[in-house]
Amino acid sequence: MKSVNLNISFEKYDGIEELDEQDRALCQLAEQALTGSYSPYSKFKVGTAIRLASGETVLGSNQENLAYPSGLCAERVALFTIGATYPKATIERMAITAQTDAFEILQPVTSCGGCLQVMAEFERKQNSSIAVIFYCLNGEIMKIPSVQSLLPFAFVEDRLTGAKA
């Protein structure tokens, strides 16, 4: 038997004012994306802003549906928009934030497992890291250098793409 430890490093900020100008602007766009959230059932809004290497930014917000499994998280809305609209684009970084009137969010809200898998696929497809910023409105911020840090055991099956194992 061999024991293996996984460690991740990330940057932690007390507030948005500590970020550099580009990351601060991306967080503000994620906050702006909250206005597009359709969340009448959970009343939990999530907004995502993704900056591409071209300098363009794509926004996404969560979209609920009365048939709950039919909704989609903000991260996947934005990522699938990129896949459909900018299929060869390189994603540099993404900022994710959340808001609800039901309670005070005191720490950054992280992505669900389904979103992490999609994020990992985009990172793998472009063969370069995607930095992820989890932004708590009026609070703490976590900046992770790569999706690989968030999902080190992402599902990968090369035989599905025709590649030999």
Domain ranges of the chain: 11-159
Q: Which of 31, 64, 75, 92 is catalytic?
A: 75
Asked if residue 103 has pLDDT above 80, the reply is yes
Let me know if 75 is a catalytic residue. Answer: yes
- CA count, 13 A, side-chain hemisphere, 5: 2
**Model pLDDT for residues 36-90, shown as the tens digit of each residue:** 999 999 999 999 999 999 999 999 999 999 998 899 999 999 999 999 999 999 9
Residue 15 structure tokens? 């507030």
CATH architecture of 11-159: 3-Layer(aba) Sandwich (3.40)
Which strands form 44-52's sheet, in the order they lie side by side? 11-13, 141-144, 131-135, 91-100, 44-52, 57-61
* pTM of the model as a whole: 0.94
